Amino acid sequence: MVEHFREQVLAAVHERRLLRIRGGGSKDWYGGPLEGDVLDTRAHAGIVDYEPTELVITARCGTPLAEVEAALAERGQMLAFEPPHFGAHATIGGVVASGLSGPRRANAGAVRDFVLGAQLLDGKGDILNFGGRVMKNVAGYDIPRLLAGSLGTLGVLLEVSVKVLPRTVSETTLRFAMDEAQAIRKLNEWGGRPLPISASCWHDGMLSLRLSGARAAVEDARRTLGGAVVPDCAPFWAGLREQRHAFFDGDMPVWRLSLPTTAAALDLGAGQLIEWGGAQRWLRAPGDAGTAQRIRSAAVTAGGHATLFRGGDKAVGVFQPLAPAVARIHERLKAGFDPAGIFNRGRMA
C-alpha cells in the first residue's frame, strides 16, 4: 500500500495535479476549501505495535480511531487528550493531522504532546521516519509534533506512535451556578491549586467541573469545592467532545477562540461556551468578513487568536493570519516537505 501511495504522489508531481489526503473524511469541513484528487489512506490500517507496559501504541494512518481506543480500553488505557471523532469513520492519522483535542486537553496536554514518532511520505516520494516508539527518543528537530495539526499539507502520514496513559480510577462532575466572569475567575483560582480537575465547561450560567484521579483525591476535592454532583456524567463530556452539546445545534457558524485563561469575559454579542479553564471559548456568530474582523481583533487584543471552526464563508480565512516572520517559516517548511505544492493545498492558508 505504501508503494501505491508513492506511485500516486510521483504521478501527481509529474502531471502537476493536486492531491487531497483523506482518511475517513470525518473532518472534511475543518480548514480551508478542499482541492485535488483524493488519496484515500483507509486501506493502510492496523495496529503495528502495542506494549501496554511501555505506554505507547503504534498504528498505521488509516486505522479507525475506534479500533485504537478499543484496544487501549481492553488494557485499561486511553488517549489522554480525548480526540473528537466527529464521525464513525475517524482515523488515527486524521487525529494527528487535525491536531484537535477534547475536554481533557488543558490538564493532560494536546495531541502534539503525545506524538512520539511518525513515518511520512513526502512530496518527493521519499519515506521519512521521525522520533520512535519509546518516550525517550527526541533529538534535534521534533518533527512528529510539527505534523500534529498540519492538516496533511506536508505529506502522507503513514504511521504514528502515540503515548497513552492509564484510565482514571475515579471521576465525578460538579456543577455550579455562576456568570461568565465568576466562572473565569474561579477556574483560574482552582487551576492554581493541586486539584484533580480534568475538564471544565461553562455555558448559560452554569459551570461544570470534572474531577479525575484516585478515589481519595476526587472525594477530597469534591468536599472542598462543593457544588452539585452530576450523576452519570460521562455522556455529558462525550457530547461536549463531539459537539453534540445543545450549544452547537443549528446552522450558525462556530468560532473557536484560543485565549489566555486569565482573559476577561468577551462581550461579542453572541452566545459562548467556555472550556479548558478559560483558554478555549466557542462562539456562535456569522462567518462574514465584518464579523471575522471584529472577532479576530477582540481575540488579538485579549492575547489570543480566532478560528472559523465550522460553517461560514471560508473566503474570510479559516485561521488567524500569521505574522510575516511566522508565515515565512511555514512557507519554507512546506517547500522542504512538498516542493511541488501538491498536498492539501489551501487547507491551512
d(CA 255, CA 287) in angstroms, rounded, equals: 8
Residues 116 and 97 in one domain: yes
- Residue 39: is its pLDDT beyond 60? yes
In terms of Cα–Cα distance, which of 159, 96, 127, 152 is closest to 7? Answer: 127
- Judge whether 320 lies within some domain: no
What b-and-e string marks burial along 142-170, b requiring 16 or more CB atoms within 10 Å of the CB? ebbbbbbbbbbbbbbbbbbbbbbbeebee
Question: What single DSSP character describes residue 135?
Answer: S
Q: What is the CATH number of the domain that holds 152?
A: 3.30.465.10
**What is the band of 133 on the pLDDT scale with cuts at 50, 70, 90?**
low
- Looking at residues 236-241, what average pLDDT do you find? 97
- Looking at residues 41-50, what average pLDDT do you find? 97
Question: What single DSSP character describes residue 48?
Answer: E
Q: What pLDDT, in 10s, does the model give residues 161-174?
A: 999 999 999 999 99
Q: What is the CATH number of the domain that holds 217?
A: 3.30.70
pLDDT at residue number 141:
60
User: Which of 108, 137, 166 corresponds to the end of one domain?
Assistant: 166
Whole-structure pTM value:
0.92
Q: What percent of the chain has pLDDT over 90?
A: 93
d(CA 91, CA 13) in angstroms, rounded, equals: 26
Q: What's the whole-number average pLDDT of the chain? A: 94
Instruction: Calculate the alpha carbon distances from 73 to 51, 67, 77 in Å.
Output: 13, 10, 5
pLDDT at residue number 269:
81
Q: What pLDDT, in 10s, does the model give residues 310-329?
A: 999 999 999 999 999 999 99
Residues 114 and 184 in one domain: no
pLDDT at residue number 172:
97
Q: Are 94 and 26 in contact (CB under 8 A)?
A: yes
C-alpha cell at 277: 479553564
- Residue 142: is its pLDDT beyond 90? no
- Looking at residues 200-225, what average pLDDT do you find? 97
- Judge whether 11 lies within some domain: yes
- Judge whether 322 lies within some domain: no
- Judge whether 72 lies within some domain: yes
For 235, residues 6+ apart whose C-beta sits below 8 A from its C-beta are: none
- Looking at residues 210-233, what average pLDDT do you find? 96
Residues 11 and 136 in one domain: yes
For 172, residues 6+ apart whose C-beta sits below 8 A from its C-beta are: 210, 211, 218, 222, 229, 230, 233
Q: What percent of the chain has pLDDT over 70?
A: 97
**What is the band of 134 on the pLDDT scale with cuts at 50, 70, 90?**
low
Q: Are 100 and 81 in contact (CB under 8 A)?
A: no
**What is the band of 242 on the pLDDT scale with cuts at 50, 70, 90?**
very high
Q: Are 15 and 7 in contact (CB under 8 A)?
A: no
Strand partners, 38: 20
The domain total for the chain is 2
- Residue 185: domain span: 170-241
Q: What pLDDT, in 10s, does the model give residues 220-229?
A: 999 999 999 9
